[in-house]
Structure 1
Amino acid sequence: MGGSTTATKMDKMLKALEEIKIRQDKFETKMEQVESNPATTFSKGAPAEDLQKEVKAMRSTLSALEQEMKSFREVISDCQQSVDDLEQYGRRNCLILHGAKDIPKGSYSDLVEYTLKFFNTKLKLKFQVTAMDIDIAHVLPAKKGTPLIIKFVRRSVRNSIFFSKRQLARTGFTITESLTKRRLQLLRKVQEKVGMRSAWTNNGTIFICVNDKKKVIRSLDDLQSVS
């Protein structure tokens, strides 16, 4: 319900923003007419003072519209971030295994058995992962490879596996967090700018390390401030 309500509010704000933009465009067009040929825009013989007042009023209105648009954009950005945070929270117990081959295409129990065998043989965990630890697992559609997403029942099991992912270095396997589309796109842009080794995620939050300083990246604005 909360996500649906927020999405409805965002739709209304986007429509209002579009209306403001239309009004702004009309005023900008009128301003151009006034500045290029004021005589044809207003009645002939209109006093210069009246023309100046009209132009001043138009500029004031245009400025107010621009400020209104800025405020709307900030609200929409906050709403988008809130929706994204909620979606990411729903993925908090999930991990994605990349590089897996010969994944069984039979029953669901075969897939779970494959997953358990991988974790218990490839990772040096202090415990055995059991079927009771896995809520659900399935193969994700992908253009390349067969990524396998696993949702764990307990966060502690999920975290233990995630923090053991370094053991898979140079094996052809990797384990990543399940990120929202918006967050994944941001991560890719972050990696393009600072490099793969200097960017990572933890609990859905994107971190970078530049000049020995750790920083959280939540938006493109945060990324643009990185030198």
Structure 2
Amino acid sequence: MDHINSTVTGLMDIFQKRMAEFEEKLQGAPVDSPNTSALAADFTVFREFITQAVIGLQQQIELLAKTVDSMEMRGRRNILLLHGVPEGRDEDTAQVVVGVVKERLRMDGFTADDIKRCHRMGRSISSSKSRPILFKLRDVTVCYNIWFEKTKLKNTGITISEFLTKSRHDLFMAARKKFGVTRCWTRDGCVYVLAPDGSRHCISSVAELNTLQLRDTEGSSVQATPKKPITMTRSKRAAASKK
């Protein structure tokens, strides 16, 4: 999908460049020629048609990308990622997850049978950095229980996160960078941001994130410039007292 978007964007750039070159040549043609006037009118209509066609195509691609992303995220709703657990040789990742859930989250009824699939993500690159463990739960209720109990992992070096799609993960990282780690979180695959005024926002695109940041920046700039108190110098106060 990203490749299609970049292709359409590239076509739009080429179109704009060629149209600009043609318009420049058209403006250099004799003005009093009837053929030039007709060609200029046809060019304007053609340029508007192509521009609207490309914009419509881009909007359809964006809608399709959101639909595919939503379907993919729906298939990940029972999947969680466990970060910060040391990686051992010939380990049983399911038992590692069970140990964390039982000992750290104090969910004694949790067993390996609750896990449908479990493995470390990616290739082992460095022995000093442990890979996250992906585990898929059989029951969405168990998944929610683990998610709501993950606050017990605070200050342990171990964290639990959702298995976001690439676009949502990139959006989440961008939101944390702009608003801070403590003001951003995810829930059911959705990215939430807590604005400085205390309002909560669910964002689904970088455009929404930029709009939210711009609005908060403008609001803070208005509040950050209070009226300065009127002060008078010693000479002005003396002159005023003589009047």
TM-score by length of 1: 0.82
Match of 1:153 among 138, 143, 153: 138
Give the counterpart letter for 1:130 in structure 2. Answer: T
1:69 Cα deviation from its structure 2 partner? 1.1
The letter for the 1-side match of 2:48 is S
Query: Given that residues 93 and 133 in structure 2 are in contact (C-alpha distance below 8 angstroms), is that contact kept between their aligned partners in structure 1?
Result: no
Pick from 19, 38, 41: which aligns with 1:27?
19
Q: 2:234: which partner in 1? A: none
| One-letter amino acid matched to 1:61 | F
For structure 2, the residue ranges without an aligned partner over 5 or more in a row are: 217-243
Q: Which one of 63, 72, 94 corresponds to residue 48 of structure 2?
A: 63
Q: Taking every aligned residue pair, what percent have the same amino acid on both sides?
A: 24
Q: Does structure 1 residue 119 correspond to structure 2 residue 104?
A: no
Change (3 A) 1:14 1:224: closer
Deviation, structure 1 residue 49: 4.2
Q: TM-score, normalised by structure 2?
A: 0.77
* 1:204, distance to aligned residue in structure 2 (A): 0.5
CA offset digits 1:123-155 (Å, max 9, x no partner): 033x51111100011011276432111110000
The alpha-carbon deviation at position 17 of structure 1 amounts to: 7.4
In the TM superposition, 1:1-227 aligns within 5 A as: 22-35=14-27, 37-39=28-30, 47-101=32-86, 103-106=87-90, 110-125=92-107, 127-141=108-122, 144-210=129-195, 211-226=197-212, 227=216
Shift of 1:14: 7.8
* In 2, Cα distance between equivalents of 1:34 and 1:57: 12
Q: How many residues align?
A: 207
Unaligned runs of 5+ in 1: 1-6, 40-45
Q: Shift in Å at residue 201 of structure 1?
A: 0.4
CA RMSD of aligned residues (A): 2.4
The one-letter code of the counterpart of 1:184 is H
Q: Pick the structure with greater CA Rg.
A: 2
> Residues 19 and 196 (structure 1 numbering): CA distance in 2 closer, same or farther, change over 3 Å?
closer
